[in-house]
Amino acid sequence: MLATASPAQAAAAQPTASADAKHCVIVAAPLEPGQTISRVLSHVCADTPARAQRLSETANPRLASTLLLVLYENIRYNTDSAGASTQLRGSAGPCDTSGYGFGNLGTWRNRISSFKRFNWCQRVAGYDYINYGGNNGNPIGVWTKDTDWVGSANDRIESILTRRL
Ligand SMILES: [Ca+2]
């Protein structure tokens, strides 16, 4: 569901958004040792998942990326009711034990109801605020499988860390 805008949000991940651009592709750099926030290299949106992926590829023809997570606006991966979705992709291959950190989900803050994991992104930690804030720095949910309903974290996640176990 829609988030309220926060003036404090970082400018790192500005999408090329329009009203019907419900599906996005975000490509991020991997976490280096000691780093917690992956650099966002690309963030595009379109009206279908396939168009968003094509737009991402044509906008960044030399940027390889690996699918990490797909976020869904509704429960059960949007299968019960249509909704927005976003691919989180990584520029350096599958998740390793350092993984990738999405410190600010931008238009996807306070919106996620379910997600699927790919390419060794076995562990997913969701945080209430951007930059892994809120709840005394602890995630409001940690999941180790595809999750068709994030429960009490519904519409609350604003940043995500994901890695191989
Ligand atoms: Ca939140």
Which CATH number fits the domain that encloses residue 37?
A: 2.60.20.10
Measured in Å, residue 17 CA sits from the centre of ligand 1 at 21
Residue 126 lies in a domain: yes
Measured in Å, residue 4 CA sits from the centre of ligand 1 at 10
| CA-based nearest residue to 88, from 110, 62, 116 | 116
**Section 25-45 average pLDDT:** 90
Residue 2 lies in a domain: no
Measured in Å, residue 155 CA sits from the centre of ligand 1 at 7
Give the tens place of pLDDT for each residue, 54-84. 999 999 888 989 999 999 999 999 999 999 9
Q: What is the mean pLDDT of the chain?
A: 89
Task: Give the span between the Cα atoms of 140 and 53, in whole angstroms.
Answer: 29
Residue 13 lies in a domain: no
Alpha carbon 31 to its chain centroid, in Å, reads 15
Measured in Å, residue 23 CA sits from the centre of ligand 1 at 20
Residue 131 lies in a domain: yes
Measured in Å, residue 26 CA sits from the centre of ligand 1 at 19
Measured in Å, residue 91 CA sits from the centre of ligand 1 at 26
- Whether residue 4 is predicted with pLDDT greater than 90 in this model: the reply is no
- Whether residue 50 is predicted with pLDDT greater than 70 in this model: the reply is yes
Q: Which of the four pLDDT bands, split at 50, 70 and 90, describes residue 31? A: confident
**C-alpha angle 100/83/39, rounded to 5°?**
20
pTM value surpassing 0.75: yes
| Residue 63 structural domain | 23-163
Measured in Å, residue 127 CA sits from the centre of ligand 1 at 7
